[in-house]
Amino acid sequence: MGGPLKVAIIGSGPAGMYTAGAFNSSCPGCEIDILEKLATPYGLIRTGVAPDHQTTKNVSRAYDKIMENENVRFVGNISFGDDISLETLKSLYDVVILAIGTPKDRELGIPGEDKAGVFGAQVFVYWYNGHPEYRDAVPHLEVKNAIVIGNGNVALDVARVLLSTEDEMRDSDLVDHAGDHIFRSPVEHVRVIGRRGPEHAQFSTKELSEFKDLTTAVTTTDGSIIPDHYETDDPKTTKVANNNLELLRDYAANKPDPHKRLLSLDFCLSPTHILGEETIEAVRFEKNRIEGNKAVGTGEFVDYPCDLLVTCIGYELTNVGGLPVENGIVRNVDGKVEDHLYVVGWAKRGPSGTIGTNRLDSQKVVEKIAEDHCDGGDPAKAGARGLDQYCQENGIETVSFSDWQKIKEEEEKRADEDSPRRKFVRKRDMLKLLREGK
């Protein structure tokens, strides 16, 4: 022991990037490789954040600074579990850190979920954000009635994007293939539905308020179920909930406009069946009452017509690369999976918190790693040199950070006047650009 600690971080989203940053602060001289299956870094910052929320995406500038450190490498276009195994990585590096997120939508678990026209949030969001693996996930939007199940910000994003006009998305980075469908869609009515009451919704007030800005849709809700006040043990949660309730009262006062589309915010409904033959035609819901902050079924049902259903009820991790997965996350104790193997972010704790939540989470895991490996690295571990040799021997065409900067520069050149970028949505086009440049 005694050489520089050689670290492989699998995943370049917020959790992975904050982990790299924490290593730079607490473990000077370590050598860090950040592996990413896509040719582009930063995970959900690129493929998860809504295309019209450009301010949120600005966090990537902080990640750029981390990548600019000489001891940090971005190694894109290498897929964990497919291109390279966990055992190989452990043989090359002193420490392997999983920052792979939770890349599977949770299912409703009700009959009919396999029908055409039913999508999980991740699939739908990746589609309109240009994730290369989901370029053709949504074949059309020839729909009139859409339902979004979930009471978090992702549900609001999906509804807002569905109802946005081309002019409203002009300064976004909504990808072309999604815009072509969304702006031509005949959608008339979008419902956002939660199983509990409006006081329990997990919306941020800013996201909820954005529905006021939709030019071609009126937002409504049932004012009779909105409480006058809601109290929790947490002052911050109480404040947000009551700000949201005030907004919902404003929406409840709105009247439908025959010249505009309708957005309904519905509560106290649990889906029980997805109806139709091969394609979705309607969703059956059981009406709920709230008892002790819990939704309890009443035995009364209602059917809503539906041509498109997007479920926004969370994400989970499935078995990948032989990892010990339990309850939708990697089994771990405070981030440690086993000797030399650690996990951070959503894969560690589940899909919770904001982008910034990952910073503190990653710092704590890095502190644990520093304790476990305070003697430094094993000089026998090949690290970056060994990875490069492995990729060369296996014909893996990796993408460096400077390569990514070339892709980014070209995307910015391709953009319309108000848009920040026009994304490449196929990996082959990105690799072609890089090959031509070389």
User: pLDDT tens for residues 133-162?
Assistant: 999 999 999 999 999 999 999 999 999 999
Residue 107: count other Cβ atoms within 10 Å of its Cβ: 13
Task: Report the half-sphere exposure of 208 (CA within 13 A, side-chain side).
Answer: 25
151 token code pair = 């009471």
- In tens, the pLDDT along 381-426 reads 999 999 999 999 999 999 999 999 999 999 999 998 899 999 999 9
Nearest to 33 by CA among 64, 65, 5, 61: 5
Q: Give yes or no: residues 56 and 174 share one domain.
A: no
438, pLDDT greater than 80: no
Residue 266 domain-assigned (yes or no): yes
3-state helix, strand, coil in the chain (%, to 5): 35, 25, 40
Residue 39 domain-assigned (yes or no): yes
Q: Give yes or no: residues 216 and 296 share one domain.
A: yes
Q: What was the pLDDT predicted at 1?
A: 58
Residue 372: count other Cβ atoms within 10 Å of its Cβ: 14
Backbone angles phi, psi at 56, to 5 degrees: -60, -35
Q: Give yes or no: residues 95 and 139 share one domain.
A: no
Per-chain mean pLDDT for the chain: 95
26, pLDDT greater than 80: yes
Residue 233 domain-assigned (yes or no): yes
Q: Give yes or no: residues 251 and 118 share one domain.
A: yes
- Look at the pTM and tell me if it is higher than 0.85: yes
Last residue of a domain, one of 257, 287, 315: 315
353, pLDDT greater than 90: no
111 token code pair = 């009959």
> What's 15's domain CATH number?
3.40.50.720
- The total number of residues shown for the chain amounts to 438
CB neighbour class for 298 (10 Å; exposed up to 12, middle 13-18, buried from 19): exposed
- In tens, the pLDDT along 50-102 reads 999 999 999 999 999 999 999 999 999 999 999 999 999 999 999 999 999 99
Residue 146 domain-assigned (yes or no): yes
202, pLDDT greater than 90: yes
Q: Give yes or no: residues 280 and 405 share one domain.
A: no
> What's 178's domain CATH number?
3.50.50.60
Last residue of a domain, one of 315, 350, 376: 315
Q: Give yes or no: residues 166 and 311 share one domain.
A: yes
Last residue of a domain, one of 315, 345, 367: 315
Residue 255 domain-assigned (yes or no): yes
The DSSP bridge pattern shows strands 118-120 and 308-311 to be: parallel
Domains in the chain, number: 2
Residue 66 domain-assigned (yes or no): yes
Q: Give yes or no: residues 342 and 363 share one domain.
A: yes
Residue pair 424/430 in contact (Cβ under 8 Å)? The answer is yes
The C-alpha atoms of residue 385 and residue 106 are separated, in whole angstroms, by: 39
Q: Give yes or no: residues 189 and 257 share one domain.
A: yes
Q: Give yes or no: residues 85 and 117 share one domain.
A: no
- In tens, the pLDDT along 321-336 reads 889 999 999 999 999 9
Residue 1 domain-assigned (yes or no): no
Q: Percent of the chain at pLDDT above 90?
A: 91
Structural domain span for residue 300: 105-315
Q: Give yes or no: residues 260 and 203 share one domain.
A: yes
Residue 31 domain-assigned (yes or no): yes
The DSSP bridge pattern shows strands 118-120 and 145-149 to be: unpaired
Write 349-356 long-range contacts (CB < 8 A, 24+).
Answer: 350/102, 350/316, 351/101, 351/102, 351/314, 351/315, 351/316, 355/14, 355/44, 355/45, 355/56, 355/59
Q: Give yes or no: residues 258 and 400 share one domain.
A: no
Q: Give yes or no: residues 195 and 228 share one domain.
A: yes
What are the residues whose beta carbons fall under 8 Å from the beta carbon of 195, sequence distance 6 or more? 151, 268, 269, 270, 288, 295
What string of DSSP letters covers 4-17? PPEEEEE--SHHHH
Mean pLDDT score, 237-258: 97
Backbone angles phi, psi at 16, to 5 degrees: -65, -40
14 token code pair = 């917020």
Q: What was the pLDDT predicted at 99?
A: 97
H runs (alpha helix) in 164-234:
176-184, 205-209
Mean pLDDT score, 103-131: 96
Q: What was the pLDDT predicted at 437?
A: 83
